[in-house]
Amino acid sequence: MAVEYRFLTTWLLDCDRGPVWEAIFDQRSWPTWWRGVEDVVELEPGDETGVGSHSRLVWRSRLPYDLVFEARTHTVSKPHLIEADAFGELTGTGPGGSSSRAA
pLDDT given at position 96: 55
53-91 tens-digit pLDDT = 999 999 998 888 899 999 999 999 998 889 999 999 988
Question: Using the 8-state DSSP alphabet, how is residue 91 labeled?
Answer: -
pLDDT at 10: 78
Q: pTM, whole model, 2 decimals?
A: 0.80
The pLDDT value recorded for residue 50 is 94
Whole-angstrom distance, CA of residue 26 vs CA of residue 78:
13
pLDDT tens digits for range 1-48: 677 777 777 778 899 999 999 999 999 999 999 999 999 999 999 999
